[in-house]
Amino acid sequence: MKYEIKNNSGSPIEFENEAQSLCGFAQKRFGFKKPPSLVFNEDQNNANKVLGKTGYYDPNTMEIHVFVTGRHPKDILRS
């Protein structure tokens, strides 16, 4: 299954295959029927904060938002 991934960061996402694989693993593990969309967001103000957000889930849109500014791909995928 191909999962919807939206890149709102303005930078290329070079780990989409890994994100797709992780989404598949999560769906198998947790058994949800309708997968959420994954949204990569850019936010320099958030990135400048030591305790800035790494991501959040919006139940109204069924989207997982992950902040990518200044972060290593491994850290982004952990979010």
Tell me how far apart the 2 most distant CA atoms of the chain are, in Å: 36
34 pLDDT above the threshold of 90: yes
**Model confidence pTM above 0.85:** yes
What gap in Å lies between CA 55 and CA 58, rounded to an integer?
Answer: 10
Confidence of residue 1 (pLDDT cuts 50, 70, 90): confident
Report the percentage of the chain scoring pLDDT > 90: 99
